[in-house]
Structure 1
């Protein structure tokens, strides 16, 4: 048995292709399935089964399209209400994938009908746990409905234990979430690999013998999650098609200017440093990188037209990334020759020089703000800023976050709204404790 991982660092998730040299099972594929197909082609294996551990809340699946293209069995929990044909899976069902045996286990908690898949081959076991047992923790339990969170957290506690009891301690563990995904919760680690045996000694779902304490601790640690999550599960229940990853012909500069004047979202993908130094007025900054997809999808209003401006490589990558959360076929713009503007970008040392009546705006999440903040600072999380921008008092605005990244997005939004802004592009740890309250 060989397990191949397909990493999606931008969303903190992993998909897997497990094979015996001939036949392959794909677990939790993201929408851009060409990565999976290229891998299978290089390995010389045939995709015979595609499995979903759950209906995903943080990305669009490529499972349905992949199964159709390869005439593969599409394994989805029988209890899930979906609108497409699939092979309905019940807990305890077993499937042969070449010489490998796949067993489905009920692991509710992250979602109500969550499944894990245990693959056995030549005395080896591999556990594909989705959003159940993660490295060091478990998947969050508040994505289904607020009134179900407590019950799902209890279910998650028991699911982790059932899973650990069902397999050997040397079974390798392969979760979908937990690598930066907001679908993880608690003290998820940055480990790259683990076993069930290791989790028995390090995972709080398995080491905390007080179920009530576990439930209270996990729920207390849940933080805000991206607003676009609310759109993912409904789209996944319908079954997303293949994304269009082609780069469209760029709009002319005058067409970009017209879109800006019409209030459309024109997103500059360059670094926040370059944006502060000079950008077309009315554009916003979402620096391309691992955080790009999450914060664009969380910050800008869902479903409104988006135009991307940046290098060819960044635009191409951004189109792929955005397709994973259902932002399809964004326009591309050329801004050459359009006049530019900018704003100051400073470190914490400059804060003492700010004008007395200026505003300090903290755009971190609520849990970060509660843990420590600047006295007198206005707090509006970045994901609320578009709808609450009128709450920012008049005058110069000094905006900060934890690293400078989110503050760069916020500074661009404020500048687009005609505000005088100073971007504090510095690490909060350099400031924390000196004037926090």
Structure 2
């Protein structure tokens, strides 16, 4: 058995191609199928089966499109109400994929009908594909299914984790879908995991908690805000996502760009955050094209709002499209490249300062200047700058009135979220300065911290 890992760092997720040298199973595929098809071609295998561990809340699945494209069987939990043809499976079912034996295991918790898949062959230890159930050092969060109480799902998650390890030897490998920066993960582990069952027993919160009740308390108390776009993912996945179109968006000239900005559409500049802060077209929003790009655009944008992408290069537009289709934003309404000197011809331009924490102590002594912390509530509770105003970034659009008048020095943990918040405030006519620095540097820079 060979396992090929297909990383999606922008979402903190992994898909898997599992094969015996001839036939292959794909677990939890993303929508940009070329990565999976290229992996199968490189391995010289035929994809005969595709398995979903659950109806995903953080991305739109590529499973249906892949199954139709290659003619594979599409395994999904029989209990799910799905609007498309598939192979319904339940815990206890056995599926043969070439020389591989795939055992279906019911593992509710992350979702009510969650499944895991234990894959065995004649050589070596088995592999467990655990989706959002047993993660590396942790488990999937249990508060994403509104119709089922979180406490009930958390207890189910505890028992599912124990069920998985009870069926496997210590040298078996665990291959979760979530947990590599995904908002679908929950409580932190007590140590590093090498991905084997034996290590998980030592470090995973599901096994280090003193009791089931202690596990439930730890997990629920540690749940933080999750992206608003999650509400749209499971319905899209249940309806049957269509194939994606990654062809270039329609080009937008400066005159049309002005009309879109005037209409209040989201015109998103993908350039590096300091470049945006220094110079940008008035009315645009800066969201740097980095790993968290699609997560935060999807979190903030009013769902269904037209989005136009601006960048220096066509390749950056293409990468942004690839990230966006994964969260259900299928087609930008247009795009322009060449930088602001090209698409911004005839437009008003503006900018604001970007500083590091070493400059903050002197700046806050000035009149009408304050620090605005846009981190999540749990981050604020762990420690924050003395006297700072706190408005989490994901609440900012509905809480502009909670931001005092004056000059806001905007910070987060790294500068990425602060840059988005600063651009939104600046677009609204506020006076802002971006603190483009790691929060961990604040105390050493002489900034007073309240624990």
Q: Aligned pair 1:342/2:351, yes or no?
A: yes
- Cα distance change of structure 1 residues 147 and 78 upon mapping to structure 2, 3 Å threshold: closer
Partner of 1:112: 112
CA RMSD of aligned residues (A): 1.6
Residue number in structure 2 paired with 1:411: 422
Do residues 48 (structure 1) and 45 (structure 2) align? no
SS of the residue corresponding to residue 359 of structure 1 reads strand
**Structure 1 CA distance for aligned equivalents of residues 190 and 268 of structure 2:** 33
Residue 340 of structure 2 corresponds to: none
Offset of 1:32 from its aligned partner? Answer: 1.1
Say if 2:190 and 2:205, in contact at 8 Å, map to a contact too. Answer: no
How much does 1:394 deviate?
2.0
For 1:381 and 1:189, locate their aligned partners in 2 and report how far apart those are by CA, in whole Å.
28
Higher mean C-alpha deviation, range 367-376 or range 332-341: 332-341
In 1, Cα distance between equivalents of 2:330 and 2:29? 18
What's 2:238 paired with? Answer: 237
**1:390 counterpart residue number:** 401
CA-to-aligned-CA distance 1:187-227 (integer Å, 9 cap, x gap): 15896851111211221212324111111011111111111
User: How far, CA to CA, are the matches of 2:23 and 2:170 in structure 1?
Assistant: 26
Tell me, in whole angstroms, the C-alpha distance in 2 between the residues paired with 1:26 and 1:186. Answer: 28
Q: Give the TM-score normalised by the residue count of structure 2.
A: 0.94
**Match of 2:170?**
169
Q: Does 1:59 align with 2:59?
A: yes
Q: 88-97 or 249-258: which moved more?
A: 249-258
Tell me the CA shift for residue 376 of structure 1: 2.9
| Paired position in structure 1 for 2:294 | 293
Residue 322 of structure 1 is matched in structure 2 by: 324
- Is 1:353 the counterpart of 2:363? The answer is yes
Asked if 1:372 is matched to 2:358, the reply is: no
Residues in 1 aligned to 2:272 and 2:63: alpha-carbon distance in whole angstroms: 34
Residue by residue, what CA displacement relative to the aligned partner does 1:378-424 show, whole Å, maximum 9, x if unpaired?
21111111122233222222111111111100110011111111111
> In 1, distance between residues paired with 2:432 and 2:289?
21
Match for 1:332 among 332, 335, 356? 335
Structure 1, 364-373 or 204-213: larger mean CA deviation: 204-213
| TM alignment of 1:37-436, pairs within 5 A | 37-124=37-124, 125-145=126-146, 148-188=149-189, 193-310=194-311, 311-330=313-332, 331-334=334-337, 335-337=343-345, 338-351=347-360, 352-354=362-364, 355-432=366-443, 434-436=447-449
Which secondary structure does the structure 1 equivalent of 2:384 belong to?
coil
Say whether the 8 Å CA contact 1:173–1:193 is kept in structure 2.
no
CA distance in 1, matches of 2:16, 2:95: 17
1:3/1:211 Cα in 2 relative to 1: closer, same or farther (>3 Å)? same
**Cα pair 1:178 1:188 within 8 Å, conserved:** no
* 8 Å Cα contact 2:189-2:203 kept in structure 1: no
Bigger CA drift: 349-358 or 423-432?
Answer: 349-358
Secondary structure of the corresponding residue to residue 150 of structure 1: helix
Where do 5+ consecutive residues of structure 2 fail to align? 338-342
> In the aligned structure 1, how far is the partner of 2:37 from the partner of 2:190?
30
**1:37, CA displacement in angstroms?**
1.1
Find the aligned partners of 2:270 and 2:192 in 1 and give their Cα distance: 30
DSSP 3-state at the match of 2:198: helix
Contact 1:131–1:139 (8 Å) recurs in 2? yes
Cα deviation, residue 359, structure 1: 3.2
Mapped to 2, the partners of 1:250 and 1:189 lie a distance apart of: 50
Separation (CA, whole Å) in 2 of partners of 1:146 and 1:344: 46
SS state of the match for residue 240, structure 1? coil
Deviates more, 1:44-53 or 1:198-207: 198-207
What residue is the counterpart of 2:13 in the other structure? 13
**Counterpart Cα distance in 1 of 2:372 and 2:363:** 16
The alignment of Structure 1 onto Structure 2 pairs a total of residues equal to: 437
Judging changes above 3 Å, is the alpha-carbon distance between structure 1 residues 378 and 146 closer, same or farther for their aligned structure 2 residues? farther
